[in-house]
A and B are shown apart, each in its own frame.
Chain A
């Protein structure tokens, strides 16, 4: 059974801090690892990682994948109150003959305070 574990479950930081969110996984036929941000309702896409060791960056957010250790991190620098959200990690597999599907972790709830 595919498994995705995120840590920490929740985190409270002060504005301006840097945070690192963790995601480890066990999945057969790994295809990709994705990060989403969920503020109230629909998760919004942040990054997709398929190759090990290549950092994806978007503004203050960055992410990297280690396929050997089955691990990914999401970094947020100079946090702002608008970064407060649940961050979801998901892993996609390749299932021959069926639609590829994502297995999600439980998410990390980040709260950024003034």
Chain B
């Protein structure tokens, strides 16, 4: 079955460490997105990518980095520069030109200890 897989589901990180969240899709979607969700704040866009080897900053890109070397994969690295990384991270994808909304992954909950 087609879908988006995020891993791991739960992640703990010590302060000062970089950590990479995985997002893989087999939907043949062109566009992929990373959102962060905090309690009471809805979803905020971190980065998005329309095609391979191209990506754009969203509203809260500081302290994050991404790569898009393959169409299927859009990993997100949370760097030590991100001051408040504890959050729920959602990856999504969409076929370019489609008027329909995103397909979401199940999310990764990152906790800094």
Chain A residues packing against B (C-beta within 8 Å): 4, 6, 9, 31-32, 34, 36, 41-45, 48, 50, 88, 90, 92, 98-107
Contacts and interface: CB of A to CB of B under 8 A. Distances in A.
9 contacts: A32-B101, A41-B106, A42-B106, A43-B104, A45-B101, A90-B101, A99-B30, A99-B56, A102-B45
A72 to B, nearest CB: 14
A43 B104 CA distance: 6
Given A48-B99, A88-B43, A99 B48 contact: yes
A106 B37 CA distance: 9
Given A48-B99, A92-B101, A42 B107 contact: yes
B94 A99 contact: yes
Interface residues of B, number: 26
A100 B100 CA distance: 11
Contacts of B45: 101-103
Given A41-B106, A45-B102, 12 more contacts: A36-B101, A42-B90, A42-B104, A88-B42, A88-B43, A98-B50, A99-B31, A99-B49, A99-B56, A100-B94, A102-B45, A104-B42
Contacts of A101: 33, 45, 48, 58
The 10 closest A-B pairs by CB, nearest first: A99-B50, A104-B43, A106-B42, A99-B31, A42-B104, A34-B101, A104-B42, A41-B106, A41-B107, A42-B106
Given A42-B90, A42-B104, A99-B49, A106 B41 contact: yes
Contacts of A107: 42
Contacts of A34: 101
A93 B46 CA distance: 17
A102 B45 CA distance: 8
B99 A50 contact: yes
B85 interface: no
B40 interface: yes
B42 to A, nearest CB: 4
